[in-house]
Amino acid sequence: MSKISWGKPTIEIAVIGAAGTPGIFTALPAPVKDTTQLTVEKGEKLEAPLEGGEMADVRYSRNKYTLVFELYKTKGQAKPIADSDGIIAEEYAVRLTPEDPANEGFIIDRATVSVEDTWAANIGYKWKYTFEALKPETGAMLKPYAAPNN
């Protein structure tokens, strides 16, 4: 068992239904090596400067979270999320469980999704999915997630 939340992740997605809650989560195929990454864009810094260069106050807006990964397109396989030239109409929830499911992963309850089709002679056809976190009904945009039975 690993002490670090790393390695081959399990990524699961669910369409957000009319009630604003995710449906049934389904696992995606294993992502392409070294393509799964959660990035954080630090919130905008807001300053209240005083004469002479001192600060009366400083605060930040909320961070922005983006999960990106790539999947190989294999013979006979359809895209796991249908699109129209990269645009995906539905919102999705996405959760990631690390290789050792006893370690903590994360869940984004609500995200907008886009996809890019790529191809290169040395690696073949791939789909690059981008999940950008949106404000959920309750709580933070990025939440800890532990797989059941762990």
pLDDT at 31 over 80: yes
The rounded mean pLDDT for the chain is: 95
pLDDT at 1 over 80: no
d(CA 95, CA 11): 6
The kind and range of the H/E element at 95 are strand 92-97
Q: What is the pTM of this model?
A: 0.92
Question: Domain coordinates of the chain in residue numbers?
Answer: 10-145
SS3 (DSSP) at 120: strand
d(CA 51, CA 38): 40
Residue 69 vs residues 54, 116, 127: alpha-carbon distances, Å: 43, 11, 8
pLDDT digits (tens, 9 = 90+) for 60-82: 999 999 999 999 999 999 999 99
Q: How confident is the model at residue 20 (pLDDT cuts 50, 70, 90)?
A: confident
Q: Give the mean model confidence (pLDDT) for residues 141-148.
A: 94
Q: Give the mean model confidence (pLDDT) for residues 31-57.
A: 96
What is the pLDDT, as a whole number, of residue 150?
Answer: 63
pLDDT at 24 over 70: yes
pLDDT at 142 over 90: yes
Chain centroid to CA 11: 9
